[in-house]
Amino acid sequence: MYLMLRILKSIGPAIIVTAVVLGPGSILTSSKVGASLGVGALPVVAGSAILMIAMVALAARLGVVYENSLCTELSNRLGRPVSVLIGGVLFTLVALFQSSNNIALIGGLEPMLGDGTLGDEGRTGILIAVNLLIIFCLYSFRNLYGFIEQIMKVLVGIMILAFLANLVVVFSVPRSYVPVESEGSREWLPLLAMIGTTFSVAGAFYHAYLVKQKGWGMADIQKGVADTVVSISILGLLTAVILLTAWRTFYGHPSSIALSSVGDVARQLEPLFGSFAKGIFCIGILAGATSSFLVNAIIGGTVMSDAVGKGSNLSDATPRHLTTLALMVGMAVAISSLLKEGSVVHLITFAQALTVLGIPVLALALLYLATRPELSGERKVPRWILTVATIGFLVSCVLAWLTASKVYEKIAYVNGDFSILVG
């Protein structure tokens, strides 16, 4: 019990990264991977989690050892254009994540109200109202960090209990069908999307800013390692649990379930919650979307503000203004995509997969700062972190190339429209 209390006490900034990364997009893409690829994808989850631990630990270390924030340090060494490039890449990734949050919000509401009842005007109105509410909260509250950290701990705890309980029940109920191997049902873009959400260098990059907001110094380095290992292990565990649940429920199903809607994915909760499965799953999607709405946008707004030399503290005006811009861009992309009347799950998967494209740039920036000659003695980054983070950078390059290839294959013009938007 004492050890458990110490572990819980050690959880800090990294749990915010975990909660933001494990949003509705992660839940849906992990479900699709489990349904199409099965348990063969588990080593990918484990590998992604290990790479994420190294990247987050590296970012935490940099947040402690450097006097200035990351983009300010990059600007001082390489010039303002480089820091603006880094900030722009991260801002773009955040906007893509934000669009999936918006789409997931609609995807969680519609099955509860009856599919298709909202219509284009209803969808647009809801997204505008929610984003305006989030913007109001952004400008109304000044000290957000402590509140966000505590809320994220509670939300992650609820997710752990719910998904673990459901996994136990799913495996205790015999399958009602004989699994059928079907190579045609295997989709690789969701796998890339799942890797991009588990191994989120954007989240790791922002972790250095969270460490500074927490006020950690050299004396807290070991605490930071414990925080990272525990929090990111939770991320990997929950991703694996969701994947296993979907595998047990959907993999090899003779009807070749497409999982084209949130309602389809919600069926994985039926063993535990019966006829209430769809509603409970949709509430979970809504909670995931709303909990990451503000924090995800803050990542883009804060780093972009720092990149252009306007500060990284949310008490300043520029970070809040750019956070608002991230919210608006994400909402606009989501509304435009939803008007195409495509599959909600396909839209979210596509947005999540595109985030992989910017990972190499952010990973390279972290490695550059980690290998400066002035980092010596106790400020020097441990070799194991640098080694695994370097492997992560190389993996991210391969992922970016594979994702670009898959997206290129998916995108084609059909009567002037992108076929990706219709699955």
Q: Over the stretch 313-322, which tens digit does the pLDDT of each residue have?
A: 777 889 889 9
CA distances for 90 relative to 98, 279, 389, angstroms: 12, 34, 18
- The CA distance from 37 to 44, in Å, is 11
Asked whether the beta carbons of 244 and 167 are under 8 A apart, the reply is: yes
Q: Is the pLDDT of residue 175 over 60?
A: yes
Mean pLDDT of the 251-273 span: 62
Query: Among 258-262, 282-286, 289-293, whose mean pLDDT is lowest?
Result: 258-262
Kindly indicate the confidence band of residue 3, based on its pLDDT and cuts at 50, 70 and 90: very low
Measured at the CA of 96, the angle between CA 58 and CA 94, to 5 degrees, comes to 40
Predicted confidence (pLDDT) at residue 4 exceeds the cutoff of 60 = no
Element (H, E) at 133: helix 119-140
Average pLDDT over residues 214-230: 81
pLDDT score, position 357: 65
**Residue 228 structure tokens:** 């990272």
Better-scored residue on pLDDT, 68 or 415:
68
Of the ranges 11-20, 119-128, 250-259, which is most confident?
Answer: 119-128
- Can you give the pLDDT at residue 423? 36
Instruction: Name the DSSP class of 290.
Output: H
Is residue 351's pLDDT more than 60? Answer: no
Band of residue 271 on the pLDDT scale cut at 50, 70, 90? low
Identify which has the larger pLDDT, 224 or 43: 43
Q: How confident is the model at residue 412 (pLDDT cuts 50, 70, 90)?
A: very low
Q: CA 293, 195, 104: angle at the middle one, nearest 5?
A: 30
pTM: 0.81
Q: With beta carbons less than 8 A apart as the criterion, state whether 242 and 22 touch.
A: no
Residue 246's contacts (CB-CB under 8 Å, 6 or more residues apart) are 30, 31, 32, 33, 34, 35, 265, 268
The predicted pLDDT at position 305 comes to 93
Q: What residue ranges define each of the domains in the chain, with the CATH number in brackets?
A: 2-172+182-422 (1.20.1740.10)
Nearest to 270 by CA among 169, 369, 178, 191: 169
For residue 417, what pLDDT is reported? 45
State the pLDDT at residue 269: 63
Amino acid 1: pLDDT: 44
In tens, the pLDDT along 333-350 reads: 888 777 765 554 555 555
List Cβ<8 Å contacts ≥24 apart for 381-389.
381/58, 381/61, 381/62, 381/65, 382/61, 384/54, 385/54, 385/57, 385/58, 385/61, 386/58, 388/50, 388/51, 388/53, 388/54, 389/51, 389/54, 389/55, 389/58, 389/363
Which pLDDT score, from 0 to 100, does residue 366 have?
94
Provide the pLDDT for residue 419.
40
Average pLDDT, the chain: 77
Q: What pLDDT, in 10s, does the model give residues 109-166?
A: 776 665 556 777 888 898 899 899 888 878 887 666 666 767 777 777 777 777 777 7
Highest mean pLDDT among 58-67, 184-193, 247-256: 58-67
pLDDT value at residue 76: 93
Percentage of the residues of the chain whose pLDDT score is greater than 70: 71
Q: Taking Cα atoms as reference points, which of 96, 20, 148, 92 lies closest to residue 307?
A: 92
* Model pLDDT, residue 409: 64
pLDDT more than 90, % of the chain: 20
> Which tens digits make up the pLDDT trace of 68-104?
999 999 999 999 999 998 888 888 878 777 887 787 7
Which has more confidence, 14 or 86? 86
Q: 361 pLDDT exceeds 50?
A: yes
The pair phi, psi for residue 413, each rounded to 5°, is -90, 125
Instruction: State yes or no: pLDDT of 59 exceeds 90.
Output: yes
Residues 273 and 367: their CA atoms lie apart, in Å, by 46
Q: What is the pLDDT of residue 328?
A: 92
Measured between alpha carbons, how far is 245 from 251 in angstroms, rounded to an integer?
A: 10
Residue closest to 34 by CA, chosen among 174, 180, 198, 194: 194
Write out the two tokens for 71: 């983009």
How many Cβ atoms sit within 10 Å of the Cβ of residue 364? Answer: 15
Q: pLDDT higher for 369 or 274?
A: 369
Grade residue 2 by pLDDT with cuts at 50, 70 and 90. Answer: very low
Which residue has 């000659």 as its token pair?
A: 373
